[in-house]
Structures are given as structure tokens and as C-alpha cells.
């Protein structure tokens, strides 16, 4: 694992199946919340090829830069020039029996399963609400993660913290530490 100082941020890869909603939202949130400490990326095992319009609308409304967002395959991160990841977090939903990608290698991994807002049904307002809920849950989890005292945690303790964040996204960093 790298040091995570301002010169060398920790690289985090958020994975999901389609890389159109949850992993894209997580990438944006982490890059904003963890600026200088973390650098986030996202990918999918079976990318849809486009970012979900509800995700784009939400991120635009929240003043995120959308210019570099696109749905991409995790294969894009397997080449020799790819970033070395310190953390890989899957955000697909166990309950829905989605195929969650498994990332090989050395990064610390966690599963933060969330329902897929892209599968929400109903009116435009109901679909937008599903994206709002997903954003809120991811934001809570990522906020806890970026505020963990990484330098003072053993690898085992850090792994336990990451797992707990996925199970109890609304818990505070203080409660977890």
C-alpha cells in the first residue's frame, strides 16, 4: 500500500457490473471527498458503454465535472500503464444476485453492496429518487472511509473497517475506530 500523502494518493477502484451508475457515483464522490488523499476510478465487468442519464443529471445538479466520465471495462485497468490499486470496492447488490466482479491481485478489497438504481421502475421522479438514495448511501460510506485513521490501523484492522462500512454505511468513523 502506498503512503497516501499529497504526493502519492491511494488509488481506489470501484467496480460494478455495468459501470453506469453506482461505481460512477462512487468514483465522483471519492474524488471530491478524498481529494489529495485518494484517487478514484470505476469500471465494470460488463460495461453498458454509457453513463446512466439519471446519474449524469444528479452529478450535474451537484456540480461535479462530467467531462471525463464514461462507462469502461475493468480490462482497461489491467495493462502495464494502469494505476496500481490500493483498494478495490465492489458496489453491486448481493440481494439482487447480480454478478459482482472479483478483482485479482494485491489490493485490499471490500464489498459495499447497493441496489442498482438503474433498475428502478416508476416515474422519472421515482427513478431520480433511487439515484439520490444510492448517492446518499455511497457518500456516507465514502466519508467514513476517507476519515479512517489509515496510518494507525493494521492491515487486518483496516480490512475489518472496510467490511463494516459495507455492512453499516450509516455508522460514523468514530464508532468504527
By annotation, the residues acting in catalysis are 16, 92, 100
Taking the C-alpha atoms of residue 26 and residue 14, their distance in angstroms, rounded to an integer, is 7
- Which residues, in sequence order, are bridge partners of residue 73? 44
At residue 24, φ and ψ (nearest 5 deg) are -65, -45
Q: Would you call 126 exposed, middle or buried from its count of C-beta atoms within 10 A (0-12, 13-18, 19+)? A: exposed
CA distances, 15 to each of 35, 55, 73, 121, 128 (Å): 20, 16, 9, 23, 22
Cell numbers standing for residue 15: 467496480
Amino acid at each position: 500500500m502506498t503512503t497516501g500523502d499529497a504526493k502519492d494518493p491511494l488509488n481506489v477502484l470501484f467496480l460494478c457490473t455495468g459501470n453506469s451508475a453506482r461505481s460512477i457515483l462512487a468514483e465522483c464522490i471519492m474524488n471530491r471527498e478524498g481529494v489529495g488523499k485518494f484517487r478514484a476510478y470505476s469500471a465494470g465487468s460488463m460495461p453498458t458503454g454509457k453513463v446512466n442519464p439519471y446519474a449524469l443529471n444528479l452529478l450535474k445538479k451537484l456540480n461535479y465535472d462530467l467531462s471525463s466520465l464514461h462507462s469502461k471495462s475493468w480490462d482497461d485497468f489491467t495493462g502495464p500503464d494502469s494505476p496500481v490499486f490500493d483498494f478495490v470496492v465492489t458496489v453491486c447488490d448481493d440481494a439482487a444476485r447480480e454478478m459482482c466482479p472479483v478483482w485479482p491481485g494485491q489490493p485490499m478489497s471490500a464489498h459495499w453492496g447497493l441496489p442498482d438504481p438503474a433498475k428502478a421502475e416508476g416515474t422519472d421522479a421515482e427513478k431520480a429518487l433511487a439515484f439520490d438514495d444510492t448517492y446518499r448511501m455511497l457518500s456516507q460510506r465514502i466519508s467514513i472511509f476517507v476519515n479512517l485513521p489509515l496510518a494507525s490501523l493494521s492491515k487486518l484492522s483496516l480490512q475489518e473497517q472496510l467490511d463494516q462500512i459495507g455492512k453499516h454505511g450509516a455508522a460514523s468513523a468514530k464508532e468504527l475506530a
